[in-house]
Amino acid sequence: MGAKPVMLVTGAGRGIGAAVAKLAAARGYDLVLTWRHGQAAAEATAAACREAGATVELIQADAGDPAANARCFAALDSRFGRLDALVANAGITGPASDFLDSTDATWAEVFRVNVLGLAATCREASRRMATGHGGRGGGIVALSSRAAEIGSAFEFIHYAATKGAVDSMVAGLSKELAGQGIRVNAVAPGMIDTDIHASAGIPERIGRIVPNIPLRRMGTPEEVAEVVLFLLSPASAYVTGAILPVGGGR
Active-site residue set: 159
Alpha carbon distance 70, 169 (integer Å): 21
Alpha carbon distance 236, 245 (integer Å): 16
Q: How many CA atoms lie within 13 A of 106 on its CB side?
A: 19
Alpha carbon distance 68, 74 (integer Å): 10
Residue pair 140/88 in contact by the 8 Å Cβ criterion: yes
By DSSP bridging, strand 243-246 and strand 182-189 are: parallel
Helix (H) or strand (E) holding 168: helix 157-177
Which parts of 52-188 fold into alpha helices (H)? 66-79, 104-111, 117-129, 147-150, 157-177
